[in-house]
Amino acid sequence: MTIIRQIGLLLGLCFAAHCVEALLPFAFPASVIAMLMLLACLLCGLLRHGRMRETSDFLLNNMAFFFVPAGVSVINYLDLLASNALALIAVCVLSTVVTFAATAYSVRLVCRLQARAAARRAAR
């Protein structure tokens, strides 16, 4: 029963995010709003991390099922994808390189910040 309650809570956050999206004067994805609302609830202590563990583990373990509809939809547009294959491949390669670079620089920045914080603690 716990997983059902937790999924109900997540669905409630998603519903609230859709309501917020409808009120916004600009386009913003409701899924991102829902994630920000969930983060705010976790940071403010309204939700404890352990309370959502069962549901998050369940959803992560069954993540492949969520990609089946998208995969089936791709089949419907194979002719469109084939006509734009070079552009799609270029975008995929470029976005992968940019993502790798952003991740590498983020890790380097965090390592530097942690080293500075450790040096400050050692100096005290």
- Residue 108 to residues 23, 113, 114, Cα–Cα distance (Å): 39, 9, 10
pTM here is 0.58
Three-class DSSP category at 67:
coil
* CA dihedral of 4, 9, 10, 15, whole degrees rounded to 10: 120
Q: How far apart are CA 116 and CA 80, in angstroms?
A: 51
> Could you give the percent of the chain with pLDDT greater than 70?
99
Of 5-19, 75-89, 103-117, highest mean pLDDT: 103-117
Give the per-residue pLDDT at 68. 86
Q: Which letter does DSSP use for residue 27 in this model?
A: -
Q: What is the mean pLDDT of the chain?
A: 90
